[in-house]
Amino acid sequence: MKPVAVMFPAVALALSSCGGRPGGVQEVLKYDARSLAHVKMADDTYRLFEHPAGDRVMTTSSIGAAMGQGFIQGATLGVADVKTPEQRHEAAARRYLDLTGRQDCTIGNGYELVHTQYEFRFTCPEGVVVTRAPSVTEQMKIAPAGMQQPI
């Protein structure tokens, strides 16, 4: 059997066991990787992606935090729940909207797409102008409004 034929079912099985909502993997794949922005919070530096529809963002822990969570979960055979709470992801989404000129936008519902990745829908008033997210270095110079202690 060819290695690719063996690998595809293994990848599909791994993705299907990620947790989250049904269809979450398909939703994750709709996000544009070029929209990646980083948001520095007190507990982690989150990665955020904009959905092409412009009405939602996806948050995910830093790569290091996600790897650490995966390691601990695997080492404890899934007994330890080490996920970052949804409230911290929502706080990162709120800070991202604030940093990109969308302070007046309202975050609606949020939910876990797959393990360590959350999606938050938001609505904005007419005429909101979206700006570029500042770099993490630039964020460190901004007043620490979004740097509140973890929940």
pLDDT tens digits, 97-107: 999 999 999 99
Contacts of 89 (CB under 8 A, 6+ apart): 46, 59, 110, 118, 120
Task: Give domain status of residue 11, yes or no.
Answer: no
Task: Give domain status of residue 122, yes or no.
Answer: yes
Q: Minimum mean pLDDT among 75-79, 137-141, 142-146: which range?
A: 142-146
Task: Give domain status of residue 73, yes or no.
Answer: yes
Say if residue 60 is exposed, middle or buried (CB neighbours under 10 Å; 0-12, 13-18, 19+): buried
Let me know: does 59 contact 66? Beta carbons within 8 Å: no
Task: Give domain status of residue 146, yes or no.
Answer: no
Task: Give domain status of residue 9, yes or no.
Answer: no
**Both tokens of residue 76?**
């404890």
The domain containing residue 105 runs over which residues?
18-140
Task: Give domain status of residue 46, yes or no.
Answer: yes
**Stretch 9-35: mean pLDDT:** 67
What total number of domains does the chain contain? 1
Rounded-to-integer distance, Cα 74 and Cα 57, Å: 28
Task: Give domain status of residue 7, yes or no.
Answer: no
Task: Give domain status of residue 41, yes or no.
Answer: yes
